[in-house]
Amino acid sequence: MNANIITQLSIFVNNAPGSLAKTAKVLEECGINMKACNLAESTEFGILRAIVDNPDEAIAKLQAKNIIVKKTDIIGVRIADVPGALFGASQALGVAGINIEYGYAFTGKNVQGLFMRVDSPEKAIDALTKAGLELVKAAEI
């Protein structure tokens, strides 16, 4: 597997008071540590997107607890802490005709950047590399 492809967990959460807490409690019980996360919401449900330590093991644990979880391939691109950094990354993808479905920023111990769900991760990695941008490897997070 491409070392630049990162596995994201997408977890279905109801949009009601206490729902996120319930899901977060299960994450705690399963000993799952999140490196980054993002919440998307519609009127009656939300999606918790998370990058975790050991995705396959985490999915198995969550499914055993009847949580709806899905594995999604995303990519991460390093973003320098300067104005215009986001422009560079998004411009490279735009020129290559790659659509960004959603994305969220993160700052880790060693690396900071943007996680993105794109319609074609492999092509996106190519396009970003050619544009001289550096990708975040799963192992670095």
Partner 1 sequence: MMWNPRIETMPLDQIKEMQRVQLKKLVNNLYSFNKFYHDRMRAANVSPLDINTLEDIQKLPFMYKQDLRDNYPDKMFTVDKSEIVRYHMSSGTSGKPTCVAYTRNDLDYWTEALARSLTAAGLTADDTLQVAYGYGLFTGGLGLHYGAEKIGATVLPAGTGNTQRQLEMMQDLGCTAIACTPSYLTHLITTAKQMGIDWKRDMNLKKCILGAEPWSETMRAKFEAETGAKCIDIYGTSEQAGPMFCECEAQHGPHICPDIMYVEILDPETGEVLEPGNKGELVCTMLKKEAMPMIRYKMKDITTLHEEPCECGRTSPRIERITGRSDDMLIIRGINVFPSQIEYTLMRIPQVGDQYMINVSREGDLDQMIIQVEIKPEAFSDKLEEMQMLRAFIETELKKYLNIAVTVELKAPGELPRFDGKAKRVIDTRVF
Query: Are the beta carbons of 90 and 100 closer than 8 angstroms?
Result: yes
Rule CB under 8 A: which of 11-50 touch partner 1? 12-14, 40, 42-45, 47, 49
* Closer by beta carbon to partner 1, 43 or else 110: 43
Site pattern 48..87 for partner 1 (x: CB under 8 A): -x-------------x--xxx-x-x---------------
* Region for residue 84 given its phi and psi (left: phi exceeds 0; alpha: psi -120 to 50; beta: otherwise): left
Distances (CA, A) of 13 to 26, 47, 75, 108: 12, 6, 23, 25
Contact call for residue 101 and partner 1 (CB under 8 A) = yes
Report residue 76: phi and psi, to 5°: -125, 135
Contacts to partner 1 by CB under 8 A: 8, 10, 12-14, 40, 42-45, 47, 49, 63, 66-68, 70, 72, 101-102, 117
